[in-house]
Structure 1
Amino acid sequence: MTTTTLETLSAADRDGFVARLADIFEHSPWIPERAWAARPFASVDALHAAMLAVLDAASDEEKLGLIRAHPELAGKEAAAGTLTTASTGEQRGAGLDQCSAEELARLRRLNAQYRERFGFPFVIAVKGLSRYQIMDAVEARLARDRAGEFRTCLTEIGKIARFRLDALLAV
């Protein structure tokens, strides 16, 4: 695997830049594509901030598309083995691949309730969380309003992006 550095990203042409960062935001290469113009980046913080600025400036439809691009936790994509490499590692790190049948049924029930209530999947940065903390978070967030959940999902996506950037750049 080729090492990626901030210097190589800053020097990359648009296609190369997007190719290296396409998986930072789940199935949404439009974010690094638009952030490319902000090069060069003095730090990972600056790169992350540029990408979050693109997200902040996006339309509500684009933001909703980004949220909907995220898989359900321990959902059908995980069962089918079709998660992105990053999502697979993140879910495995939270122990979601080790759910008992009862835990899996609970999580899938919560996922369904959440999607029915809000119209998009539950999104949380799972790094550092246990599967029990994740299930408790879904339950707690089910009581919130849609606008608040929309914002929370975008905040969590920003955290996920930072974790993925740190991993890519070996920070």
Structure 2
Amino acid sequence: MTQTQAPDLTLTDISSLTQEAFTERLGDIFEHSPWIAREAWHARPFTDIDALHSAMMAVLRAASDDAKMTLITAHPELAGKEATRGTLTAASTHEQRGAGLDQCSAQELARLQALNAGYRARFGFPFVIAVKGLSRHQIMDAIEARMHNSEQAEFEACLQQIGKIARFRLATLFMEAP
């Protein structure tokens, strides 16, 4: 079951699940990385969404750099091949649509694809940003601005953004008011 199929889920429910069921329910909070949910299960019970998010982030912080890189590279490029093919996760599809990335003009799409390619060529991994509340123009400007960072700074920036994405996804899952 995905995060969008369980709107009636409570933190009490989540805290009482087996590790397998917990991982199944929360495995997509971090893109294609159920290992984070699986390990965060050990921190139960969760008193609020922030406690759950903190437990998940602690798992991420404790992970090896290789595991962190695998997580970063699990993220799709914005308005990239996965979006074109319709193979994004439901959460990524919703997030990219919310930022208007599915409404890019041909010129905007070409610019975004060029920025994605330049970023990947420079850093070796996809550009990651929590798109909620951003316009497609702000996203493209952010790619350009972050191109000037060091590889280590971008590695850390991607992890920080992944944490934001996870928090937004948890808020959606538990129907938390913005």
Equivalent residue in structure 2 for 1:149, among 148, 154, 158: 154
Equivalent residue in structure 2 for 1:131, among 98, 123, 136: 136
Equivalent residue in structure 1 for 2:109, among 104, 108, 126: 104
The 2-side partners of 1:5 and 1:114 are apart by 39
Q: Which residue of 1 aligns with 2:81?
A: 76
Unpaired segments of 5 or more residues in structure 1?
A: none
**Pairwise CA RMSD of aligned residues?**
0.6
Equivalent residue in structure 2 for 1:87, among 87, 92, 97: 92
- Whether 1:53 aligns to 2:58 is yes
Could you say what secondary structure the match of 1:128 adopts?
Answer: coil
The 1-side partners of 2:98 and 2:64 are apart by 32
Equivalent residue in structure 1 for 2:125, among 120, 131, 156: 120
Q: Cα distance, 1:62 vs. partner?
A: 0.2
The 1-side partners of 2:39 and 2:124 are apart by 27
Equivalent residue in structure 1 for 2:45, among 40, 49, 57: 40
Unpaired segments of 5 or more residues in structure 2?
A: none
TM-score normalized by the length of structure 2: 0.95
The 2-side partners of 1:148 and 1:112 are apart by 19
Q: Which residue of 2 aligns with 1:24?
A: 29
Equivalent residue in structure 1 for 2:165, among 160, 163, 167: 160
The 2-side partners of 1:25 and 1:4 are apart by 18
Paired residues, number = 171
Q: Cα distance, 1:97 vs. partner?
A: 0.1
The superposition leaves residues 109-132 of structure 1 with CA deviations (integer Å, 9 ceiling, x where unpaired) of: 000000010010000000000000
Structure 1 residue ranges, 4+ long, deviating more than 2 angstroms after superposition: none
Q: Cα distance, 1:4 vs. partner?
A: 1.1
TM-score normalized by the length of structure 1: 0.99
The 2-side partners of 1:157 and 1:6 are apart by 22
Could you say what secondary structure the match of 2:30 adopts?
Answer: coil
